[in-house]
Amino acid sequence: EGSINPGTTELIRRAVRKTHASTDACLIIQLDTPGGLVASLRDIVQEIMASSSPIVVYVAPSGAQAASAGALLTLAADIAAMAPGTNIGAAHPVSPGSGRDEDETMAEKTENDLAAMARSIASEQGRNATWAERAVRESISSSAIEAEELGVIDMIARDLDDLLRQMEGRTVRLPEREVVLDIRARNIVPIRENLRERILRTIADPDIAYLLMMLGMLGLYFEFANPGAIFSGAIGALCLLLGLFSLQTLPVSAAGILLLILAAVLFIMEILIVSYGILGAAGLVALVMGSLMFFDTPATGISVTAGILWPTILVVGSFFALIAYLATRATLSRPRSGRGGLIGETGTVRKTVSPEGGLVFLHGELWHAASDDKIPVGSEVEVTDIKGLKLRVTKVEGGKK
């Protein structure tokens, strides 16, 4: 159930090995998928078609689908079955490219490749090759009843018991032999995904991989900005490592990765160098471009969904923009602490201030002060300079209190 990705491949590969280890065993794969990665699909199809044991793909329960890559996986099975109320097809590769000539050419090549693959699989398994090619080129989809009538699947089964009854006595052609299914004394052994396969299937999702990379960048940024904040650094490093692991199983674009790294560098430089937003703006552009180019979409049809991509860009971009703004404001503003922080501040005269001296109340303290002019008690004054522990002040016009 769910998207076909490297986690799915690992599960099916383990199930096939376990089936081979048993005498006279048959593997039934219950399928409900909207599609997935072409690379993972090819690996699974190779496992199925090279298997020395019969493999059945059963699209179930009612309401399930074998769409896109799932349709080709079903075609590859020794026995293909569907539950009532299910559908199969719509295998056209999704290529939301930019419309450029090279993108359109790559999308056409991908379509032709998948169409040939679908036609070859269907022909090898004695199924409707014309329908298989149209499912790729025209995205046609069929209900269970239509698929059976068109010769796309072998049977419609209400449930697992019905499927097993219909499989009884069928002849299955394997790579090196033909077998007649005898499952009257059946022993059903469920094979469920283990923890490793579950984690791999989860993080191999393009959206999850992208979010992990973004969270990793933010976590490490917090750590560099606040050395010693171990929690943010640890979380960032963990997310980044998981993201990099998931990217090993996905067709990423080197240009996209480099642009995201450039964006992080530019955002950090914006904090260190006062560029009045120029570096930050360049970083935002690099972030957007890197996110859009993160996966090799024209060749594979894989991309981050818009509902994840744009909100993430907005949040991450806004965060870095806010940090850059605060850093720039702090750099340009006058000091607020130490001796320099008193210049420009205002206080009240407590003892007449003259060139010889006087007292000024400022920030809850009494300070010795001097002025070129005589300033009476109660007047408001502004600090213009500090010499040692003595303030130099001038009277604020209209500043009598």
- Of 167, 191, 215, which residue is a domain's last? 191
Q: What is the pLDDT of residue 150?
A: 95
Q: What is the pLDDT of residue 202?
A: 81
What total of structural domains would you count in the chain?
3
Strand partners, 346: 382
Residues 138 and 231 grouped into a single domain:
no
**Dihedral pair phi/psi, residue 331, rounded to 5°:** -70, -40
Residues 118 and 224 grouped into a single domain:
no
Q: What is the pLDDT of residue 338?
A: 56
Q: What is the pLDDT of residue 99?
A: 43
Residues 44 and 185 grouped into a single domain:
yes
Q: Evaluate whether residue 197 is within a structural domain.
A: no
The span from the CA of 156 to the CA of 297, in Å, is 36
Share of the chain above pLDDT 70, in %: 86
Q: Which two tokens stand for residue 174?
A: 């394997």
The span from the CA of 331 to the CA of 52, in Å, is 71
Q: Which two tokens stand for residue 169?
A: 């006595």
Per-residue pLDDT at 301 exceeds 60: no
Residues 365 and 245 grouped into a single domain:
no
Question: Mean per-residue pLDDT for 248-259?
Answer: 80
Q: Evaluate whether residue 199 is within a structural domain.
A: no
Residues 19 and 99 grouped into a single domain:
yes
Q: What is the pLDDT of residue 340?
A: 61
Q: Evaluate whether residue 38 is within a structural domain.
A: yes
Q: Domain containing 317: what range?
A: 205-332
Residues 257 and 312 grouped into a single domain:
yes
Highest mean pLDDT among 150-159, 194-203, 236-245: 150-159
Residues 246 and 278 grouped into a single domain:
yes
Question: Mean per-residue pLDDT for 385-396?
Answer: 89
Per-residue pLDDT at 104 exceeds 80: no
Q: What is the pLDDT of residue 100?
A: 47
Per-residue pLDDT at 151 exceeds 90: yes
Mean pLDDT rounded to a whole number for the chain: 84
